[in-house]
Amino acid sequence: MVDNRYATALVISCVLSILATVYLSVAVGTQHWYIYTSPSVRGESNASELRTLQEEFISGEFDEKMYSDSLFRLNGTLGLWWRCVLVPTDTHWYKEPADPKMEMECVSFTLSQQFTPKYKEPGNHNSGEDLIRTYLWRCQFLLPLVSLGLVVLGGIIGICACICRSLSPTLGIGVLHLLAGLCTLATVCCYLAGMDLLHRVSVLPDKVDGSLGWSLYLALISSPLHMMAAALLVWAARSHSQNYYRMTAYRVA
């Protein structure tokens, strides 16, 4: 028989875990981790340059400097698996007196591109590999997958525990959630560190600003939610275990 306190703790931890997993899944699948804001462009010469950046971004060869320049100049957004630019729908948008209609065009990172090394000077393969940026980039897309995998594993164990009507695996499930929260927090830290290093080696154009997007904040929120779920699970497991041993000792006595 499970005490009402433990049952309440388990229900709340399940709700927190589901919320955290949904937030993290949405964050991983969206591109609004970092947002660039660039000024509007008028004039055919500048428009021609931006059209070239757009074409290279969509169909050009994968190159960090190329897609970074496009993100800087075309109000780009950068996520873990997506990079997007905001482009006008009309070819002759620069001649329009009012603000032209804009649309978002996105390109996904392939798995091989995720493992492409970063260089000390983006675009210059002779400058040598930047190991810190390379491994920060790889960690930022691998760690959230590890986090989601740990939560799924914890969920499977929890379902089996419910079927067996046992609280014994609860402590292990709590540890899995704690590790998942730490992996998510590490993802955000790796992403912020990687973007800071990128901006040190790639100077932003004039009047171009960068800001953190809502996808990153969703991932950041999911980390403490996983940790709170872990704390409740560990407390329920430890308290139930202590009460069980006390009851056993009382019956023996």
pLDDT at 240: 61
Counted domains in the chain: 1
Type of residue at 217: Y
Residue 44 one-letter amino acid: E
206 is a domain residue: yes
Q: What is the pLDDT of residue 106?
A: 87
Residue 121: alpha-carbon gap to chain centroid: 25
pLDDT of residue 70: 84
Structure tokens at 109: 């990172």
Is 94 within the bounds of a domain?
yes
pLDDT computed for residue 243 by the predictor: 55
User: Is residue 251 domain-resident?
Assistant: no
Structure tokens at 129: 């590999």
CA distance 168 to 171: 7
Could you report the per-residue pLDDT of 33-60, keeping only the tens digit for each?
Answer: 999 988 766 544 566 667 777 777 777 7
Task: Identify whether the C-beta of residue 88 lies closer than 8 Å to the C-beta of residue 100.
Answer: yes
Residue 91 has a pLDDT of 56
Q: Does residue 129 sit within a domain? A: yes
Question: Does residue 253 sit within a domain?
Answer: no
pLDDT at 41: 60
Could you report the per-residue pLDDT of 76-91, keeping only the tens digit for each? 899 999 988 887 776 5
Q: Chain-centre distance of CA 74, in angstroms?
A: 22
Q: What is the pLDDT along the chain (253 residues), one digit of tens a residue?
A: 456 777 788 889 899 999 999 999 999 999 999 999 887 665 445 666 677 777 777 777 778 888 888 888 888 899 999 988 887 776 555 555 456 677 788 888 888 888 888 888 887 888 888 899 999 999 998 999 999 999 999 989 988 887 877 777 888 899 999 999 999 999 999 999 999 999 888 888 888 888 999 999 999 999 999 999 999 988 887 776 555 444 454 444 4
Parent domain of 190: 4-242
Say which CATH number the domain at 115 has.
1.20.140.150
Q: Write the single-letter amino acid at 56.
A: E
Strand 34-37 relative to strand 209-212, pairing: antiparallel
User: Residue 248 domain-assigned?
Assistant: no
Return the CA Rg of the chain. Answer: 24
pLDDT on residue 253: 46
Report yes or no on 174 lying in a domain: yes
Predicted confidence at residue 186, as pLDDT, reads 95
Asked whether residue 209 is assigned to any structural domain, the reply reads yes
Supply the pLDDT for residue 179. Answer: 96
Work out the number of other CB atoms within 10 angstroms of the CB of residue 58.
13
Could you tell me which of 168, 148, 149 has the C-alpha nearest to residue 158?
168
